[in-house]
Structure 1
Amino acid sequence: MSTPDNNRRRFTRIHFDAATDLHHNGVEIPVKLMDISFKGVLIESDQQLPLEPGDQVDATIHLLGNDVTIKAPITLKHQEDNRYGFALSQLDLDSLTLLRRIVELNLGEEALLERELEQLIHD
């Protein structure tokens, strides 16, 4: 059954376990990436984060140790218990290319990838 939230979702969430660091006010906070899409990330933290909806932080997602990373400014949209949903914004070209590859590998279908890229461009 479809819910209003499901009807609005235009970007597939990719369940992805990766070490991630948030950088906020000169402090690095290690967190765990739960899922990622072209529009956002869901992270889990062992500690309460000192953030309010609308706060922007920088995220570093470690794909292969410290050698391959996605770096992005993210904005907190919602929190439930120890999970935090952030919107992605202004990815650099290298990070966008890596994210595209993650989505491409996990969707497994070129048409789905193209649809999501089209939505990203027109959003």
Structure 2
Amino acid sequence: MSQERRHFSRIHFLSNAHLTTAGGGRHIGQIRDLSLKGALVAMAEGWQGRSGEGCKLEIPLNHSDVVVVMEGYLAHVEGNVAGVHCESIDLDSISHLRRLVELNLGDAALLDRELSSLVSHD
């Protein structure tokens, strides 16, 4: 991306994830970074995804039964790396995601501005 258009801070976050796409089943990948509005996911070599394709991303949080689930679409696909844009997320998932971002940003005021922006964009 030559011009930065992101409205939400991304945090470096390594975790396994499951990506289910509209056209091709469920695949295991690894989260590279995460925000309140999406994630960057590295998939196994040979994975085939298409920009614009609908998807569901499940991110199990280590050492707990918590799974953050977001639904959206593949915003971009470059090789085996996909950018997932979140269009919907349940209350439990956004609560856990908010806490994760808060802990990693270390700036509660910035997080509050991002949450306000998230609400106004929907």
* TM-score normalised by structure 2 residue count: 0.88
CA pair 76-104 structure 1, distance change in 2 beyond 3 A: same
Amino acid at match of 2:82: Y
Point out 4+ residue stretches in structure 1 off by more than 6 angstroms.
none
Q: Which residue of 2 aligns with 1:67?
A: 65
Q: What secondary structure sits across from 1:4 in the alignment?
A: coil
For 2:10, the aligned partner's letter is R
Equivalent residue, structure 2, for 1:16? 13
Percent sequence identity is 37
Question: Equivalents in 2 of 1:98, 1:48: separation in Å?
Answer: 31
Partner of 1:49: 47
Unaligned runs of 5+ in 1: none
1:120 equivalent in structure 2: 118
Distance, in Å, in 2 between the alignment partners of 1:88 and 1:77 is: 9
- Over aligned residues, Cα RMSD in angstroms? 1.7
Q: Show CA shifts across 1:59-116 (max 9, x none).
A: 1101125611101213001112221111011100000001100111011111111111
97, 100, 103: which one aligns with 1:99? 97
State the SS of the aligned residue for 1:111.
helix
The answer to whether the Cα contact below 8 Å between 2:48 and 2:80 also exists between their aligned partners in 1 is no
The equivalent residue for 1:85 is 83
- AA at the equivalent of 1:10: H
Equivalenced residue count is: 119
Partners of 1:59 and 1:113 lie apart in 2 by: 22
> Structure 2, unaligned stretches of length 5 or more?
none
Distance 1:27 1:77 in 2: 18
